[in-house]
Chains A and B, each alone.
Chain A
Amino acid sequence: DAKTTQPTSMDCAEGRAANLPCNHSTISGNEYVYWYRQIHSQGPQYIIHGLKNNETNEMASLIITEDRKSSTLILPHATLRDTAVYYCIVRVASDRGSTLGRLYFGRGTQLTVWP
Chain B
Amino acid sequence: EAGVTQFPSHSVIEKGQTVTLRCDPISGHDNLYWYRRVMGKEIKFLLHFVKESKQDESGMPNNRFLAERTGGTYSTLKVQPAELEDSGVYFCASSRRINEQYFGPGTRLTVT
Residue of B55, B101, B104 near A103 (CB, 8 A) is B101
Where chain B touches its partner, the secondary structure class is strand
CB pair B105–A43 under 8 Å, yes or no, is yes
CB pair A102–B45 under 8 Å, yes or no, is yes
Rounded to whole angstroms, the CA-CA distance of A44 and B90 in the bound complex is 12
At the interface, yes or no: A42 with Cβ under 8 Å from chain B? yes
CB pair B100–A101 under 8 Å, yes or no, is no
List residues of chain B with CB within 8 A of the CB of A21. Answer: none
CB pair B98–A105 under 8 Å, yes or no, is no
Rounded to whole angstroms, the CA-CA distance of A106 and B44 in the bound complex is 9
User: Number of contacting residues on B, CB 8 A?
Assistant: 25
Please name the residue on chain A nearest to B102 by beta carbon.
A46
CB pair B101–A46 under 8 Å, yes or no, is yes
CB pair A101–B55 under 8 Å, yes or no, is yes
CB pair B45–A103 under 8 Å, yes or no, is yes
Rounded to whole angstroms, the CA-CA distance of A106 and B41 in the bound complex is 9
In the complex, which residues 13-33 of chain B have their Cβ closer than 8 Å to any Cβ of chain A?
A: 31, 33
Interface residues of A (CB under 8 A from B): 2, 32, 38, 42-46, 49, 93-95, 98-107
In addition to A42-B105, A49-B99, A103-B35, 14 A-B residue pairs with Cβ atoms within 8 Å of each other are A2-B42, A32-B99, A38-B43, A44-B93, A93-B99, A94-B99, A95-B98, A99-B56, A100-B56, A101-B33, A101-B48, A101-B101, A103-B33, A104-B45
